[in-house]
Structure 1
């Protein structure tokens, strides 16, 4: 119960890694609020976890739109009090052609995958600074270091997430606010499964290069996140935790 008395806010918490983080944080004693654009899935998950006795709260929220996100954030604070931990998990893939991609598509993608980290910081940092306490965990990706053809400009956004992690760690450390990133490798999420469905041969190719002979479960990513949110990680700041089963160590 390493997160007792904490209020953890998770973006993109209705599915995949985000849902696993919501569950693990709640299992560790936190009050957990989460937002998502998948309203039906979010409400269903909130009901499921509440019936199991966990303190969770869902509110529709678009991380790309600050005003919309603030409505969700304010409702969460009204429910559970000041946010002490933030997990920036919401994100989308991009498989754009650099010539065909439109300006609007570019802006929407970066608003979700990168700008949203700034949005949550604007919302959560004032109270964290007052309390002289807080933890932020940004979900990046191994794509920040190495990428894959036809993923433009996904790697740029995830590299930016790690850059913002460094900035926040250096600027807010004096306030006892720690900021870290987690970079998952292949993780069995609905997003990954949908990609495999469009390119079936890639599943076997992806499995063949896994040093542990398997891909990650979402719960394995979540456990690293909740560690970084907790006081067990009290001197971990500005780090990027690669959780990919050793994939980054493999020679191409």
Structure 2
């Protein structure tokens, strides 16, 4: 089992890609703790996995609040021991107008999609440095490299996550801590379904451009994340792993 004896901490783990990561990490033998703002769904997932013998814990927390994040982190460390792997998955979409978007809307968005990558590192790195071991995986997006009209400032946030990933990898390498990004393309989550269903014909157009002929599944992202968290990837750091079915290689 790739993650035996590991403690993996996942943000936004109640559903979508986050849920798939929680499930896969637990299946690979990890103790998995995760946070989310959706209490009902988070508690249901934790109860389901715990009933099958997995070591899983859920704590309600909003990644935009360092106080909540810190409190949740301390609770799961008390339960499962020091965190050995972090997955920054929590995020929201943004389809704002650069003229009408307010300062508060900008700050609220980046407080969810970018800032927690730093905040979770702030919490996890001390123990990782002491242990001379650790892996951080930041869920980015194809929008970090290639974006699309109407996604302001989503592309900016995801580009920033890639920058933070590179800097953390360079700065923490001397402590034998690895930091990588995973950039999904079209993945069949509730957010993607809502986006595709918002306009007639959008789903058909999206499917028609997929090099593999289909939209990806959350579990296909989770498998890559699990690999990066494990000792199967001990010389992988500072990289961005595209899980987009080849979409990023396609010319317009």
Fold match by TM threshold 0.5: yes
**2:175 paired with 1:185:** no
1:122-176 superposed Cα distances (whole Å, 9 cap, x missing partner):
0000000011110000000000111111110000000000000000000001101
Aligned length: 252
Partner SS for 1:182: strand
Please report the RMSD computed on the Cα atoms of aligned residues, expressed in angstroms.
0.6
Which aligned pairs between 1:37-48 and structure 2 lie closer than 5 A?
37-48=37-48
**Alignment match, 2:203:** 203
Structure-2 separation of matches of 1:231 and 1:50? 25
> How much has 1:197 moved relative to structure 2?
2.1
Counterpart secondary structure, 1:167: helix
Tell whether 2:38 aligns with 1:28.
no
Q: Aligned partners of 1:211, 1:164: CA distance in 2, in Å?
A: 29
TM-score (norm. length: structure 1): 0.99
Within 5 A, what are the aligned runs for 1:96-115?
96-115=96-115
Q: Does 1:64 align with 2:64?
A: yes
Q: Quick one: distance in 1 between partners of 2:142 and 2:238?
A: 16
Matches of residues 142-157 of structure 1 in structure 2 within 5 Å?
Answer: 142-157=142-157
CA deviation after TM superposition for structure 1 residue 16, in Å: 0.2
In the TM superposition, what are the counterparts of 1:135-174 in structure 2 within 5 Å? Answer: 135-174=135-174
Deviation of 1:64 (Å)? 1.1
* CA-to-aligned-CA distance 1:34-82 (integer Å, 9 cap, x gap): 0001111101111111111111000011111111100110110011000
The normalised TM-score by structure 2 is: 0.99
How far apart, CA to CA, are the structure 1 residues paired with 2:197 and 2:65? 30
Give how far 1:200 is off. 3.4
1:215 aligns with 2:189: no
Q: Which runs of 4+ in 1 moved over 6 A?
A: none
Equivalent residue number for residue 125 of structure 2: 125
